[in-house]
Amino acid sequence: MSSPSIENSTGLSLARRVAQLKPSVTVAFTNRAKAMKKDGKDVLIFAAGQPDFDTPQPIKDAAIRALQDGMTGYQPTLGPADVRETIAEKLTTENGIRGLTGDHVGISVGGKHALFIAMHCLLDSAEEGGAQNEVLLPVPAWVSYRPIAELAGGRVVELETQPTDDFKITPEQLADAITPRSRILVMNSPSNPCGTMYTPKELESLASVVAEKAATVAPGLVVLTDEIYEKITYGGIAHKSLGSFESIADRTLTINGMSKAFAMTGWRVGYSAMPGAFGKTFIKAMGTLQGQMTTNITAFVYPAVKEALTNPAVAEQVETMRQSFAKRATLIEGLLAEIPQLSCPKPTGAFYVFPDVGNLFGLTTPGGRTLGSAMDVCEALLDEVGVALVPGEDFGGCGEHCARISFACDEATIVDGMGRLKTFVEGLS
């Protein structure tokens, strides 16, 4: 079926899969709010999924040194051996993932790129004869998983969660969802956008289900666990890596990156790792795909990655940033509790809260808009009181009733913004 959006009178057109691709709503709302601010509007931004801190100085210094030393040429596609080994070491000692060598690790242009190539290495579309092309996705989930899976030919099967369960799936739900068609299970704890985490015990139960189902109905199932927010935890729940459970280790690809923990979003560094013989084959395949796509990441960034992962002074700064997020989480939780029309689980990880704004649907703003969706709520908030959140529809499931608030901003902004939100809600009729 041709679509007017992809063809015009000149006969020129875009590929259907790209013409039909939805822009990332997180990126779109952030950019829109930033543009308003640049135009002099009084806008408080709670849309950006990035730390408001600068990258720790020793990391910058390492990159500057490498640049000055002439590290400006092509590098091995998945990264120099010593940096891949450093990441393997980090995942072994910090995350308890056994059996990793540098050959089980690949470095990509951000966690997003790592996810993109990983999914493309695993999924065949139904038309290509891929019977196992289903991607199990607990929702609400970060907006990019679905489009990336679909671009790779996958069919997304959503596993719905509720705020009353801290947006977490149950082992029974997972057991029911896994079939011979299941190829990938996406997990993301701490979660964007939910701001909640699975406990180690809950993860153990989910791992048992995966192991049991893999041994019976779904031998090709791979767990893709996105642990990019692992260092940003403050709710008393310890982060646990799914790849540390022996029973599923050899089918678990851990995806992580430098963006969030080290305040390095603009550097574009992500990495993936899977132990075992298949892990090595898989990572090598990711390298083949990456080699036809981007080749290595920016050369002089590699020593900075090594510095970030090994310098104790950097670890201290990461901990300082974590403490700031913890304080902000407590602050925002208290302020939101003063708005009884909005409710959300206690934030325990990442830097998001995802309140249910469904109680506002059907009400009218002082500016005369009737609110019918999370998108309407966020549009009105931005235009009428200068508060930028991200509407929850594209996160899937019950996200359609929610709005994401990122508290990667200073405490004064949080106080001001939540005050404006309260005034906005109280002004609805």
Which residues of the chain form contacts with ligand GLU (CB under 6 A)? 24, 26-27, 49-50, 112, 142-144, 192
CB 266 → ligand GLU: shortest distance, Å?
A: 11
Report 237-296 residues binding ligand PMP (CB under 6 A).
257, 259, 265, 270
CA distance 372 to 360: 8
| Partner that binds at residue 154, options ligand PMP, ligand GLU, none, CB closer than 5 to 8 Å by kind | none
CA distance 173 to 158: 11
138 near ligand PMP, judged by CB under 6 A = no
Work out which of 75, 192, 324, 348 binds ligand PMP, going by CB under 6 A.
192
| Partner that binds at residue 27, options ligand PMP, ligand GLU, none, CB closer than 5 to 8 Å by kind | ligand GLU
196 near ligand PMP, judged by CB under 6 A = no
| Partner that binds at residue 378, options ligand PMP, ligand GLU, none, CB closer than 5 to 8 Å by kind | none
Q: Which is nearer to ligand PMP, 50 or 247 (CB)?
A: 50
Q: Which is nearer to ligand PMP, 84 or 112 (CB)?
A: 112
188 near ligand PMP, judged by CB under 6 A = yes
195 near ligand PMP, judged by CB under 6 A = no
Work out which of 46, 142, 282, 395 binds ligand PMP, going by CB under 6 A.
142
Number of Cβ within 10 Å of residue 354's Cβ equals 28
Q: Which is nearer to ligand PMP, 405 or 425 (CB)?
A: 405
| Terminal C-alpha separation, the chain | 43
| Partner that binds at residue 270, options ligand PMP, ligand GLU, none, CB closer than 5 to 8 Å by kind | ligand PMP
CA dihedral for 30, 31, 32, 35, sign (positive or negative): positive
Stretch that binds ligand PMP, among 106-114, 162-170, 236-244, 307-315 (CB under 6 A): 106-114
CB 270 → ligand PMP: shortest distance, Å?
A: 4
235 near ligand PMP, judged by CB under 6 A = no
CB 370 → ligand PMP: shortest distance, Å?
A: 32
CB 226 → ligand GLU: shortest distance, Å?
A: 10
365 near ligand PMP, judged by CB under 6 A = no
Report 22-61 residues binding ligand PMP (CB under 6 A).
49
Work out which of 112, 120, 306, 328 binds ligand PMP, going by CB under 6 A.
112
Q: Which is nearer to ligand GLU, 80 or 391 (CB)?
A: 391
CA–CA distances in Å: residue 133 to residues 117, 255, 281: 15, 20, 19
44-45/387-388 β-pairing: parallel
111 near ligand PMP, judged by CB under 6 A = yes
Work out which of 226, 307, 356, 394 binds ligand PMP, going by CB under 6 A.
226
CB 111 → ligand PMP: shortest distance, Å?
A: 3
Q: Which is nearer to ligand PMP, 27 or 175 (CB)?
A: 27
Stretch that binds ligand PMP, among 70-78, 108-116, 280-288, 339-347 (CB under 6 A): 108-116
Q: Which is nearer to ligand PMP, 208 or 298 (CB)?
A: 298
Q: 3-class secondary structure for the chain?
A: CCCCCCECCCCCECCHHHHCCCCCHHHHHHHHHHHHHHCCCCCEECCCCCCCCCCCHHHHHHHHHHHHCCCCCCCCCCCCHHHHHHHHHHHHHCCCCCCCCHHHEEEECCHHHHHHHHHHHHCCCCCCCCCCCEEEEEECCCCCHHHHHHHCCCEEEEEECCHHHCCCCCHHHHHHHCCCCEEEEEECCCCCCCCCCCCHHHHHHHHHHHHHHHHHCCCCCEEEEECCCCCCECCCCCCCCHHHCCCCHHHEEEEEECCCCCCCHHHCCEEEECCHHHHHHHHHHHHHHHHCCCCCCCHHHHHHHHHHHHCHHHHHHHHHHHHHHHHHHHHHHHHHHCCCCCECCCCCECCEECCECHHHCCCECCCCCECCCHHHHHHHHHHHHCEECEECHHHCHHHHHEEEEECCCCHHHHHHHHHHHHHHHHCCC
Would you tell me which residues interact with ligand PMP (CB under 6 A)?
A: 49, 110-112, 142, 188, 192, 226, 228, 257, 259, 265, 270
